[in-house]
Chains A and B, each alone.
Chain A
């Protein structure tokens, strides 16, 4: 009896389901149209729409990365960074070869954010093709963190690279892969750096976070140059900058896991006594 009633209603139910499916498809189409329009209008809020849609938007977004207008390409890459996915990662590698520096930067950002989806061969091909040393540097910073990129592939390029800017990325990548020569070069680069350059080397060290860095961090404890602005105008009571020594102490604490007599925090200028305690610990 119940079955008969259900059977009688089946066409209605199927029609309703089809209608719902159709509505959803229409809604999805509408959302996609909106996203495409936003990207073509160079509206950065497209990233919010892309985030909602996820990787189902990738096909259209990837088409937009081939647009003649560099700003459209840039916004499309920002959107792909929100959606992710393997096809997005392939597009990022291709777009590191773009003519426009901001599109290249956005593509590199996508690779950093979606390292797990990087296809190693696309990364290496981009490295081999790009004329820009900065892009080569950044690609190798990514490569060092992608297990699928074989160490001999990085080593080959490390040996051949002549440009100092690009070489820096290779030194970091090879250091991460445990190469002793690269680690020695890293410590030399860190020690020789000053001001903004030192900030960059410390940033690399923060990405590596390994014990072999400790001897290189010891002399940085004497460097009180303010490197990273963390201040807030209008709140002069808060620390203004992280100095080289502050960044070094945070790193040493993170690498060693040692409990110092004072709290470790990312928004502190350590006192001379605290710096001395860390020095004594490293020298002890």
Chain B
């Protein structure tokens, strides 16, 4: 095996890398890999698995011959094991899928390393964090809105399918979304099939909706036809009102509102709802948008666009790229989670690392701490 590489001053040689093993929508067995940077304490990528579950992660040879014999080992099999290949011997292919099983997350989480060896030489390390499973209950509500003397119609969202996708997204971080039976209600507002987000206070329609059949100690998700009252030129498809937001605006209950569409516009696929709902649940876990940057100054670099807490469900166009964003221009429009209806779709990665240059990182840790706090994410 020989590799030729011309090096000017310093160059990082990457023999192997780890990445999500599939492209497209999230599922329960293919977690994203937090591969942002090579700083302390990990000096490499991190992936997570829930205790008792098995997931697949892809190792990919870069500056490494396919013929090189490689072996994968767990540094502590009491924390995680390699389920496949059981003997650790990796195939002689560029992409090599490895299944890891979370054995013991301790009281909250434990981290060990998956080492790839060439003989006795360690070529690569992937940190594997095993999470003990936490449960967050979510109560979906199917809301029919009568108004203007007309009877409304029930929302069209496939709630079961949406909730499954939400579970798939958060499940990788040891957070089980406990989906409760859907509760159906009918309310009467000003306009049929529509909830108006103005005024946004304790007496408006939003506040009334959030008080409808509210179940304590769960995240209440209200599926409706449309949401009106957005700023001119904007269509609102989702409103996430976490406890601090509700308190700040004089509302009694927190909750999430998801619309089937807007005027002349309909959501056309399950992930369009699910990604929104999972993102809003992130706010309930006290997560902010990536580095708390807001539209139109939201971070648009490749990693930020892959994160669940990026601001936009369907990403901003990149051609021509906004002048105020040239410093973090994305290199890819496809974040690996599909292209959505027209443009790139934000990803579903929840960060595992805490990069020192970022204020609001380590999102998985933050989310879990919120769930384990007395107030919880409710």
The CA of A116 and the CA of B3, in the complex, are separated in Å by 72
- What distance in Å separates the Cβ of A97 from its nearest Cβ neighbour in chain B? 13
- Inter-chain contact B244/A228, CB cutoff 8 Å: yes
A284 in the interface (beta carbon within 8 A) = no
Nearest-neighbor residue (CB-CB) of B214 within chain A: A48
Write out, one digit per residue, whether chain B residues 140-175 have a CB within 8 A of any chain A CB (1) or not (0): 000000000000000000000000000000000000
- Inter-chain contact B371/A236, CB cutoff 8 Å: no
Write out, one digit per residue, whether chain A residues 224-249 have a CB within 8 A of any chain B CB (1) or not (0): 01101111111111111110000000
- Inter-chain contact B360/A196, CB cutoff 8 Å: yes
Query: A44 with B230: in contact, given A109-B374, A232-B239, A240-B292 (CB under 8 Å)?
Result: no
Scoring A43, A45, A47, A106 by chain B CB atoms within 10 A of each residue's CB, the highest score goes to A45
A266 in the interface (beta carbon within 8 A) = yes
- What distance in Å separates the Cβ of B300 from its nearest Cβ neighbour in chain A? 16
Write out, one digit per residue, whether chain A residues 57-80 have a CB within 8 A of any chain B CB (1) or not (0): 000000000000001001000100
The CA of A74 and the CA of B180, in the complex, are separated in Å by 15
Among B108, B132, B234, B288, point to the contact of A234 (Cβ < 8 A). Answer: B234
- Inter-chain contact A233/B239, CB cutoff 8 Å: yes
Query: A105 with B374: in contact, given A195-B360, A232-B240, A236-B231 (CB under 8 Å)?
Result: yes
Query: A226 with B288: in contact, given A78-B216, A196-B360 (CB under 8 Å)?
Result: yes
- Inter-chain contact A233/B216, CB cutoff 8 Å: no
The CA of A137 and the CA of B286, in the complex, are separated in Å by 20
A201 in the interface (beta carbon within 8 A) = no
- Chain B residues within 8 Å of A26, by CB: none
- Inter-chain contact A229/B238, CB cutoff 8 Å: no
Is chain B's interface secondary structure helix, strand, loop, or mixed overall? Answer: loop
- Chain B residues within 8 Å of A239, by CB: 248
- Chain A residues within 8 Å of B373, by CB: 105
Nearest-neighbor residue (CB-CB) of B358 within chain A: A195
- What distance in Å separates the Cβ of A215 from its nearest Cβ neighbour in chain B? 26
For window 196-252 of B, CB contacts with A under 8 Å fall at 197, 200, 215-218, 227, 230-231, 234, 236-242, 244-245, 247-249
Residue tally, chain A, CB below 8 Å to B? 44
Query: A101 with B107: in contact, given A42-B178, A226-B288 (CB under 8 Å)?
Result: yes
The CA of A242 and the CA of B244, in the complex, are separated in Å by 10
- What distance in Å separates the Cβ of B285 from its nearest Cβ neighbour in chain A? 10
Nearest-neighbor residue (CB-CB) of B247 within chain A: A266
The CA of A242 and the CA of B248, in the complex, are separated in Å by 9
- Inter-chain contact A234/B374, CB cutoff 8 Å: no
- What distance in Å separates the Cβ of A251 from its nearest Cβ neighbour in chain B? 15
- Inter-chain contact B108/A101, CB cutoff 8 Å: yes
A82 in the interface (beta carbon within 8 A) = yes
The CA of A74 and the CA of B239, in the complex, are separated in Å by 29
Known contacts A44-B217, A74-B135, A106-B374; 18 additional CB pairs below 8 A are A44-B139, A44-B178, A101-B134, A102-B134, A104-B372, A105-B376, A108-B374, A230-B249, A233-B238, A233-B239, A233-B283, A233-B311, A234-B238, A235-B230, A235-B231, A235-B236, A266-B248, A267-B249
4 smallest CB-CB distances across A and B, nearest first, come from A234-B236, A267-B248, A109-B374, A108-B374
